[in-house]
Amino acid sequence: MKLIGIAGFSGNGKTTLIEKLVPIFVREGLKVSLIKHAHHEFDVDKPGKDSHRHRQAGCTEVLVSSSRRWALMHELRSVSEPTLPELLSHFSPCDLVIVEGYKHADIPKVEVHRKDANSPTLHPEDANVVAVATDEALPTKLPQFSIDDAEAIASFVIKHLGLHRARLGIVK
């Protein structure tokens, strides 16, 4: 699996860009997965549902399955948050994993930066940033793309990670 981080501070448009990139990668024949780090408590379950009640009763893991999807919820209880590599080990094989929210991870990243967000950039301090998607010209030698040009960004990612070979069946 190849990894690409879509990184930047909150409010810069990471999720919006990812929503545009994923269909392009899929159209190019790539199997894509995503991992997103949440900085706050979240719950994919609903209070009152059986699975929620089982977790509240003390289950460490609850797996819910149907004919369309399955989801495994794992309560950490007092265990430390897993590392990115530990979480990635749970994925089924795929060509590309998009990583959102792990801006300090040691993986290649496309930084997303909007002028109006008034947030700092990650580069040049982060040597893992390989390109910038932005709405303003930034003083960097890194490749820069319009934040709205998902086609160009996807092409860059495919080439940078060598995924064009995976599309052709040369590398899996």
Q: pLDDT (tens digit, 9 = 90+) per residue, 42-68?
A: 778 888 889 989 988 999 989 899 999
CA distance 48 to 67: 22
Residue 77: predicted pLDDT: 87
Instruction: Tell which wins on pLDDT, 129 or 165.
Output: 129
CA distances, 154 to each of 61, 71, 125 (Å): 36, 28, 24
Identify whether 99 is part of a domain: yes
pTM across the whole model: 0.89
Domain count for the chain, please give it: 1
Name beta bridge partners: 2. Answer: 96
Largest Cα span, the chain? 54
Instruction: Tell which wins on pLDDT, 11 or 40.
Output: 11
- Closest CA relative to residue 75, chosen from 50, 42, 40: 42
Q: What's the domain range around 19? A: 2-40+81-167
Instruction: For residue 150, give the amino acid letter.
Output: A
pLDDT tens, residue by residue, 75-106: 888 889 899 999 999 999 999 999 998 889 99
Indicate which CATH number applies to the domain containing 35.
Answer: 3.40.50.300
pLDDT tens, residue by residue, 119-156: 999 999 999 999 999 999 999 999 999 999 999 999 99
Identify whether 107 is part of a domain: yes
Identify whether 94 is part of a domain: yes
CA distance 104 to 82: 15
Identify whether 122 is part of a domain: yes
Identify whether 158 is part of a domain: yes
